Structure 1
Amino acid sequence: MKNILILLFALFAVALKADDRTVPGRTLSVTPQNALIHLPEFRKRSYKVFIQDEKGIWQPIEARNALVSSFSKHPQIWNDWENQKLLRDTMSYALFVRDFAKNVKVRVEPCFRFRNVEIRPVSYGIDYKRVKGGIEFELTDASQKVSVEFDGDRAENLFLFPDLPDVDKPAQDVPDVLYYGVGQHDAGRIVMKSNQTLYLDEGAFVYGYVVGKGIENVRIAGRGILCGAKETHCDERRTQLINFEHCRNVEISGVTLIDSPAWTIRLKNSQDLLVDNVKQISWILNSDGLDVCNSREVRVRNCFFRNYDDCITIKNQELAKMGCEDVLVENCVGWTDCANVFLVGPECGTSREPRTNYIRNVTFRNCIVLETPALYDSKEGDDGWRGGCAAINARVGIYEGLGGGGRMSDILFENIQIENLYGGRPIAVEIVSDGTDTGSLSGVVFRNITFTGDKYLPAQVRGVSREFPLQNVTFDNVVFNGRQIKKADCRKYLFVNPYIENLQFK
């Protein structure tokens, strides 16, 4: 018996020591230290997931681990500069592809006892039934990306990401296709050129990051996973997971993005951009889901983001080649653990660049907010815009090195559903200044916004001064817990300071 145990231990040690395989031009290697500390897939799995095939047989699908940082559990933590990842939470996610010719039956078996289950977004109306060891439910459409939460646990929950087959899948042997098939790949830095497609096929798990500068007609697509877990997270070398600058006609669609060291997707000084059906989970400070910087003609749709930082933010940074305009975000689901879900700002341009210092014509439509944190407990605290579901923050002045003096106008939030939060502000709009610059924010509309919940901070609308008021803000059919906000009783739901011009309620 002793010899058998020694043999088993030796085999286990060999398995941990290295997993070295090669693919053309690439080597895969996992060390024990990386496996145990940096790669969450080596942590204990919490869920088993099955889907029923055409013959009624339950087929297992892989439930992978991903690191997250729940602010409610770790309010003192902003970053992990030693890159240990030991104080993080481990959630799970499962991907599968079906044609959805009929409803897909799903079974989830958690590796723990439970009493209650919630499947969100609640607006999808997905019911479940208890079965031995777990629950069963049906998904009617591939657009139903959901969070399965046992006993109210939003830190270590399960995401399900169904997809349709990719009808635009390219051939593998085409010269302009960078193809990654089933299995694990250590790609490192992937540099794209004009007219290329980077394709991550179903079952591909690619460690690396993507850059593209001064190129056009490029596409990142597939049903695979791009993961930044092996990249530096804790110093100036950390990079965006996907970064396109000075580009035209860029598409990012279908892929799942995990553990970005910094901003997950940055699109800067670019135009004619599409981000479609992208799924994300990130845990670190600055792991914004999508940063649209000084870009135009941008379409973002059908995405599902969970980020520690802002999910989708529209910015105007310095050294810009163009302003930021004509941005449409629709049919997206957002979840932030320590920031904002849908945000315009805080970088909004500088008066030193008057030809490009604007953000305008931005629309968020038909979107769902699953979570924002309760970062502050006062009605008028510092950085009261943080933790906003639908948020606008205009930096007027040279504030914290972000620059200021930009012009922001014509911003619409429409048909936004905000689900029961553990905290945060349903709406937050403000201008911040240090008094050294000028700028403006006007033409903001919140239309058909619904919020349901009892754990939240009051909405907030603040101008900075009489010299820099917030102008022309409209609340059109904004409903909190079944009551429409009207002018007569708006202060029950909103903090409004004196520096607002033309605040309307419809």
Structure 2
Amino acid sequence: MTSPLSRRSTLQAAGVLAATGLVSSVAGTANAATGSVATGTASTEEATGDAGNAGDIVVIHPALPSVPVNNSFTVKVRTPGGSWQRVGAYLAKLPLIDPVTGSNRAQNSSFAAFDFSGTVEVEVTYNPGGVGKFRVRPDSYGITPEVLGSTARFTLDRPRNVVVQVDDKVFDCLHLLANPVERNAPAEGDKNVMYFGPGLHTHPDRTLRVPSNTTVHLAAGAVLTSQVVFENVENSRLVGRGVLYNSAVGAVFVRQCQNVTFDGITILNPRYENIRVAESENLKIKNVRAFSHQGWGDGIQLYCSENVTVDGCFLRTSDDCIALYTHRWDFYGDTRNITVRNCSLWADVAHPINIGIHGNADPNAPEMLENLRFENIDILDHREPQVLYQGAIAFMVGDNNLVRDVKFDNIRVEDFRWGQLVHMRLTNNPKWNLAAGRGIENVYIKDLTYNGKNAGLSVIAGLGEDRLIKDVTFENLRVNGRVIADSTGKPRWYLASDGVPMFVNEYVRNLRFLTTEEAAAM
């Protein structure tokens, strides 16, 4: 990617004194707000390791001021054999779209968070009672709880984000965010740190602008109601166990930046997207959890950016969980070298994964998305009434975009409410596009599994001889335990795609369905 380094350097040289003033101003705001913890709220974290192994530690977070509690669940944790400690459970609002009217009816759900190392025992009680069964998701974690009436107990041996469901309730469930213990966290007064301690933090304009070489630390129990903006900066971070809450626009905006890191934060109820990144490179987005219920509440949007890793995130969103684009608005450039791994994705609206709809329709300046990697991902749900916007894995490629060199590896799709497993299409959607996509090339999908009954007809469709989809391979695609392959498990006159089922049109070239053994022999 060609970065606007000269522009950035000029901007920083001209504005270094202003940036320094911004640090002082915001730090003063943070320090003043630290003392605004609500009465009865713990001002420090509580760490215990009173039983079990020496490495077993549990850290309970201070209460979150101004974030409503939700009393559906009582949550307790302990080190093995130790004393139970209560973990606060809070309200997360989630969307339910009416397919007839299009109205969005916000639904109440719950989340709770704590830190631990070693092993932790968890006890979850569903307070309304009348429980028939508990389920801890993702299913791939293999967690079978011990059920005692309306209470479930289970053990975690590593930090994980899990969903505890009662009788398959989609909304009245618990999202349990089990973090690693935060090591070497910045402290109030540290150089180049904007520190937000436990308490409610606001800014008059609801915006926090972060300069270069700066760490924004949201301590556990911190609630920040501002949008956090990184623009034309380098080597900055947003970290901690605090919450970005109720931002008036998107929660985080990053543009023309390098070497920016996000780690550990939770985003709740933004007006629009959770994280938007544009024209940036060398970013790490790690262990971010996001919940949204309003329209266009995407999880992580990447525009015209390079060398970005999204790792260990839990995204339950009111639009696409992960969205990869090129040009839109005044953003320009290719998107490449993107890795998304070890994530759990739940799209109450639209797609868990969406690639390619926005780009530069100018035939003299087309853009591309390339070298995209998706690894070890659990897709927990997908609900989208509009057929054009379905697909747990979706390529909706428009505006002269070319998408190439894409690999999926070990993607587990649980049964979803409404949509398609795969939607791979070149499109010229008049709502969003000024031209059709140029093509989709060299896509390898390995160890994709789907277990369920609600998936509609998957689609792979090009638009013409000059706008093809080509060289797409599925290796060890399993649908309800059945391997879908060209060579086996079907009448010889059937297409392997019939077993998905999947519609494939005449503008698709070299589509293959292989067993693991066939792929290894090639």
The CA deviation at 1:175 is 3.5
What is the aligned partner in structure 2 of residue 392 from structure 1?
Answer: 395
1:154 matches 2:164: no
Distance in 1 (CA, whole Å) between partners of 2:435 and 2:143 is 52
For 1:483-494, what aligned pairs fall within 5 Å after superposition?
A: 483-487=482-486, 488-492=495-499, 493-494=501-502
Distance in 1 (CA, whole Å) between partners of 2:100 and 2:181 is 43
What is the aligned partner in structure 1 of residue 99 from structure 2?
Answer: 75
1:405 matches 2:405: no
Asked if the contact 2:391/2:423 (under 8 Å) is kept, the reply is: yes
What is the aligned partner in structure 2 of residue 7 from structure 1?
Answer: none
1:20-46 deviation per Cα after TM superposition (whole angstroms, max 9, x unaligned):
x9961699799xxxxxxxx99447521
477-486 vs 103-112, which deviates more? 103-112
What is the aligned partner in structure 1 of residue 51 from structure 2?
Answer: none
The CA deviation at 1:352 is 4.7
1:249-274 deviation per Cα after TM superposition (whole angstroms, max 9, x unaligned):
00011111111111110110000010
1:51 matches 2:77: yes
| Percent of pairs with identical residues | 24
What is the aligned partner in structure 2 of residue 64 from structure 1?
Answer: 90
What is the aligned partner in structure 1 of residue 116 from structure 2?
Answer: 98
What is the aligned partner in structure 2 of residue 181 from structure 1?
Answer: 197
Distance in 2 (CA, whole Å) between partners of 1:179 and 1:113 is 44
**CA 29–301 in structure 1, closer or farther in 2 if over 3 Å, else same:** closer
Distance in 1 (CA, whole Å) between partners of 2:212 and 2:319 is 31
What is the aligned partner in structure 1 of residue 444 from structure 2?
Answer: 445
**CA 341–55 in structure 1, closer or farther in 2 if over 3 Å, else same:** same
**CA 79–168 in structure 1, closer or farther in 2 if over 3 Å, else same:** farther
What is the aligned partner in structure 2 of residue 283 from structure 1?
Answer: 293
Asked if the contact 2:80/2:120 (under 8 Å) is kept, the reply is: no
Distance in 1 (CA, whole Å) between partners of 2:324 and 2:364 is 18
What is the aligned partner in structure 1 of residue 23 from structure 2?
Answer: none
For 1:6-405, what aligned pairs fall within 5 Å after superposition?
A: 24=32, 41-42=67-68, 45-53=71-79, 56-71=82-97, 74-76=98-100, 78=102, 87-99=105-117, 101-142=118-159, 144-187=160-203, 188-228=206-246, 231=248, 239-318=249-328, 319-352=330-363, 354=365, 357-376=367-386, 381=387, 383=388, 386-395=389-398, 404-405=399-400
**CA 216–77 in structure 1, closer or farther in 2 if over 3 Å, else same:** farther
SS in 2 for 1:346: coil
**CA 437–172 in structure 1, closer or farther in 2 if over 3 Å, else same:** same
The CA deviation at 1:473 is 1.4
What is the aligned partner in structure 1 of residue 53 from structure 2?
Answer: none
Asked if the contact 1:26/1:186 (under 8 Å) is kept, the reply is: no
List, as ranges, runs of 4+ consecutive aligned residues in structure 1 with deviation greater than 6 Å.
Answer: 25-30
SS in 1 for 2:140: helix
**CA 430–93 in structure 1, closer or farther in 2 if over 3 Å, else same:** same
What is the aligned partner in structure 1 of residue 519 from structure 2?
Answer: none
Asked if the contact 2:297/2:317 (under 8 Å) is kept, the reply is: yes
Asked if the contact 1:70/1:155 (under 8 Å) is kept, the reply is: no
- 1:204 partner amino acid: A
Cα RMSD between the aligned structures?
2.5
Distance in 2 (CA, whole Å) between partners of 1:115 and 1:436 is 52
**Matched pairs, number:** 444
- 1:58 partner amino acid: W
Distance in 1 (CA, whole Å) between partners of 2:264 and 2:466 is 46
Distance in 1 (CA, whole Å) between partners of 2:391 and 2:294 is 18
Asked if the contact 2:402/2:438 (under 8 Å) is kept, the reply is: yes
Distance in 1 (CA, whole Å) between partners of 2:121 and 2:79 is 8
The CA deviation at 1:111 is 3.0
1:205-224 deviation per Cα after TM superposition (whole angstroms, max 9, x unaligned):
22221111111101000011
Distance in 2 (CA, whole Å) between partners of 1:270 and 1:206 is 24
- 2:225 partner amino acid: Y
Distance in 2 (CA, whole Å) between partners of 1:321 and 1:359 is 12
1:424-477 deviation per Cα after TM superposition (whole angstroms, max 9, x unaligned):
211110011269566222112211101101111122111123332212211111
The CA deviation at 1:160 is 0.3
**CA 436–157 in structure 1, closer or farther in 2 if over 3 Å, else same:** closer
- 2:281 partner amino acid: Q
Distance in 2 (CA, whole Å) between partners of 1:43 and 1:54 is 27
1:417 matches 2:412: yes
Distance in 1 (CA, whole Å) between partners of 2:272 and 2:200 is 22
Asked if the contact 2:327/2:333 (under 8 Å) is kept, the reply is: no
1:379-432 deviation per Cα after TM superposition (whole angstroms, max 9, x unaligned):
xx5x1xx2321111101xxxxxxxx11221111111100112222211110011
Q: Which runs of 5+ in 2 are unaligned?
A: 1-28, 39-64, 487-494, 515-522
The CA deviation at 1:350 is 2.8
Distance in 2 (CA, whole Å) between partners of 1:78 and 1:176 is 46
Distance in 2 (CA, whole Å) between partners of 1:283 and 1:205 is 19
SS in 1 for 2:427: strand
Distance in 2 (CA, whole Å) between partners of 1:180 and 1:479 is 47
SS in 2 for 1:433: coil
What is the aligned partner in structure 2 of residue 499 from structure 1?
Answer: 507
What is the aligned partner in structure 2 of residue 234 from structure 1?
Answer: none
Distance in 1 (CA, whole Å) between partners of 2:390 and 2:163 is 20
1:432 matches 2:449: no
SS in 2 for 1:141: coil
SS in 1 for 2:356: strand
**CA 278–42 in structure 1, closer or farther in 2 if over 3 Å, else same:** closer
